[in-house]
Amino acid sequence: MIFTNLELMIKCLLIGQESDIEKYALAMSQSNYFKSVDRYPIDVKTESQISFSSFEKFDALFLVSKLMYPFSFLSESIKGGKNLFFTDQPELTVSDLNMLEQLYNESGGLVVPEFVELNHPLVEDFITVEPKHLQYSYTKSLIGRRDIRPSLITALGFLSLLSSMPVKKIDVSTIETTSLGRPSIKVRLKMYDSSVCHILMDIDNKNEHEITIESAKGNFNINFAENYLENIHGSKFFSPEVTDSLLLGRTLNSYAMNIILNTKPIFSFHHYVLVVSLIVKIESILKNSF
């Protein structure tokens, strides 16, 4: 479906827990691209009772909460050719995702996983670089262990866009202790073209969040915490402060434009499958480390 008017065109349905629906509804209310925003609250008890027959009138579905059994919902949505935006679903196995990807390749809908950091103003012009002999690092301070998976998704999501090479080897090189006595996790991934990725995560109260890219096209450091990009010469280019709500709004607008213009997203369902496959391997290494 291609829209001719770029404003107030998309009829969408938010599906999830009330608190999550409220957050996404607020972001959509500040956008010009959503004609109507309906709500379909669910919880653990009602998750299995979702009625897909009532979704026909919507241009896009937004799954904004984690489900206990997400495979059923995603498979029905994909088979029905729905446009679907969804947040990370930890209960999906690699086998589930492979089956869903096969369904998706045969469907006509646009199924896109959430990746808010990709829509940061500093990232847009610099995240696609020459992949050969890439050196990439992702550093972030975490509040607690629940933030490990979201941070891995972000780190590996960027890696999947920066390099098309498959990962040859994964090492959890060290699990040290920060000054506060909390874990520090270091993950090293080596690709078949000798590109290397380092993921550094400290569970502490510091304000660190940045990526560093070294490639044939140049070296860049993007500091999300302080909102600046630094080039190889040490020159810093600052952007206005970017809040979580602003990033979410930009992410939703980006997906809306994919639907309106019938274009492919930068971070696709295929990228998400690759990322989760790597996370499963990393988690198996970390399983007995805490």
Q: What is the pLDDT along the chain (290 residues), one digit of tens a residue?
A: 444 555 568 999 999 999 999 999 999 999 999 999 999 999 877 887 888 888 999 999 999 999 999 999 999 999 999 999 999 999 999 999 999 999 999 988 999 999 999 999 888 766 655 556 689 999 999 988 889 999 999 999 999 998 888 999 999 866 666 555 667 889 999 999 889 999 999 888 788 999 999 877 678 899 999 999 998 888 999 988 889 999 999 999 999 999 999 999 999 999 999 999 999 999 888 776 55
> Domains in the chain and their CATH numbers?
10-114+247-267 (3.40.50.720), 121-241 (3.30.360.10)
Shortest CA distance to 267 belongs to which of 116, 151, 140, 80?
116
Shortest CA distance to 140 belongs to which of 213, 204, 183, 196?
204
- Burial grade of 31 (CB within 10 A; 0-12, 13-18, 19 or more): middle
Q: What is the pLDDT of residue 49?
A: 82
Q: What is the pLDDT of residue 220?
A: 87
Q: What is the pLDDT of residue 47?
A: 83
Q: What is the pLDDT of residue 79?
A: 94
Q: What is the pLDDT of residue 108?
A: 85
Backbone angles phi, psi at 21, to 5 degrees: -60, -40
Q: What is the pLDDT of residue 177?
A: 61
> CB–CB of 168/191 below 8 Å?
yes
Q: What is the pLDDT of residue 104?
A: 95
Q: What is the pLDDT of residue 45?
A: 78
- Distance of alpha carbon 136 from the chain centroid: 18
Read off the DSSP letter of residue 95. Answer: H
Shortest CA distance to 59 belongs to which of 24, 115, 102, 10?
10
Q: Which two tokens stand for residue 231?
A: 């080039």
d(CA 68, CA 57): 26
Q: Give the count of beta carbons closer than 10 Å to the beta carbon of residue 211.
A: 24
d(CA 52, CA 273): 24
d(CA 124, CA 236): 16
Contacts of 147 (CB under 8 A, 6+ apart): 203
Shortest CA distance to 88 belongs to which of 276, 283, 249, 271?
276
d(CA 76, CA 73): 5
Q: What is the pLDDT of residue 30?
A: 94
> CB–CB of 189/167 below 8 Å?
yes
Residue 98 backbone zone (phi > 0: left; psi -120 to 50: alpha; other: beta): alpha
Q: What is the pLDDT of residue 128?
A: 59
Q: In terms of DSSP bridges, do strands 218-223 and 228-231 run parallel, antiparallel, or are they unpaired?
A: antiparallel
d(CA 270, CA 104): 9
Element (H, E) at 219: strand 218-223
Q: Give the count of beta carbons closer than 10 Å to the beta carbon of residue 125.
A: 9
C-alpha distances out from residue 48 to 58, 71, 100, 222, Å:
20, 11, 18, 42
Q: List, for residues 220-248, the tens digit of each pLDDT value.
A: 899 999 999 998 888 999 988 889 999 99
